[in-house]
Amino acid sequence: MLGKIALEEHYAIEDTLQDSNGYLPPETWDELSGRLLDIEGRRIDEMDENGVQMMILSLNAPAVQAIHDRERANEIAKKSNDMLAEWVQRNPRRFRGFAALPMQDVEMACAELERCVNQLGFVGALVNGFSQIDTEDSAVYYDLPQYEPFWEVMAELNVPFYLHPRNPLPSMAQIYEGHPWLLGPTWAFGQETAVHSLRLMASGLFDKHPNLQIILGHMGEGLPYSMWRVDNRNKWVGDQRAYPAEKLLGHYFQNNFYITTSGNFRTQTLIDAMLEIGSDRILFSADWPFENIDHAANWFDVCSISEDDRQKIGRKNAMRLFNIKL
């Protein structure tokens, strides 16, 4: 399929590059770091070779979210966003941008989001999970009351928020001790992001802002296959909702969330997701440079779905969600 739009595609700046060191075997670092720092060379060649017309670019992880000093987090977010804006300006038919945000400080995050959308033309924000605030051993999630002004700005700007994974802090990861292979994309990324998403659903956020849209990668971080149980466990004892949200969490998942195919190139999984959330809420992505664009494209271009669904997932849904005109 030609003309695909991919939206979990990462880059790094020198200040954040080392945050990606250690996720893959050491012998791959030269290749991975080169991929992360390249924007207008090999990246575009890979896009051309695999029918990807546009990428929506985002900073690597955890980057800004792992900088516990508020001013420094704001500085790095602005620096990376300014660099990304230059690349987008030079390549408007190939790239769009997601804002990196200093969620350590709500006022700073709101100001940077507004600047990125209104002045730099970004199509949304991508945030790498919880933020460390003031101390290294802190993990602050965005369902907390102090983030209500931020969500108001997101809703007013009418742009999506991509909740991207990060690993739990070592002090909060005892279940993985002695099993480091379970960290990262194998398991911990998905578990961490799924729980964060459920917290957002249960908080009442989407009752206050019913048009707010959240994007999850990796075919939904396991949520499509768990939502029925989330809402229906031990049903014989009656309704057990003990959270502020007015509706069952599955309602918000089906109305306020999109998922992407990033790093999860399996037809059975895609079809399950389509049955749960619908093909109108699934978006093609690769997860470059951590996954190969050709692996994503070669699978997606021939997977056993209808051509109408392929066009929607590969291109049309993203054009509608991000108001992209090509």
Higher per-residue pLDDT: 236 or 202: 202
pLDDT in tens, 97-110: 999 999 999 999 99
* Strands of 214-216's sheet in order across: 4-11, 52-59, 95-99, 124-128, 161-164, 214-216, 257-260, 282-283
Catalytic site residue from 287, 301, 308, 309: 287
Based on C-alpha coordinates, what's the Rg of the chain?
19
Determine the pLDDT at residue 196: 98
DSSP state string for 94-121: TEEEEEP--TTSHHHHHHHHHHHHHTS-
Q: What is the pLDDT of residue 233?
A: 85
* Token pair of 274 as six digits: 């389509």
pLDDT of the residue at 92: 97
| 224 band by pLDDT with thresholds 50, 70 and 90 | very high
In the predicted structure, residue 235 carries a pLDDT above the cut 90: no
- Confidence band for 43, pLDDT divided at 50, 70 and 90: very high
pTM: 0.98
Q: In which band, very low, low, confident or very high, does the pLDDT at 265 lie, cut at 50, 70 and 90? A: very high
Enter the DSSP assignment of 135.
Answer: S
The residue among 53 and 234 whose pLDDT is bigger is 53
CA 191/CA 268 separation, integer angstroms:
20
Is 38 in the active site?
Answer: no
Strand partners, 11: 59
**Two structure tokens written together for 106:** 């709500």
Pick from 36, 102, 93: nearest CA to 69 = 102
- Per-residue pLDDT tens digits for 9-33: 999 999 999 999 988 999 999 999 9
What is d(CA 305, CA 313) in angstroms, rounded to the nearest whole number?
10
Residues belonging to the chain: 326
- Whether the Cβ atoms of residue 88 and residue 53 lie closer than 8 Å to each other: no
Which tens digit of pLDDT belongs to each residue from 160-190?
Answer: 999 999 999 999 999 999 999 999 999 999 9
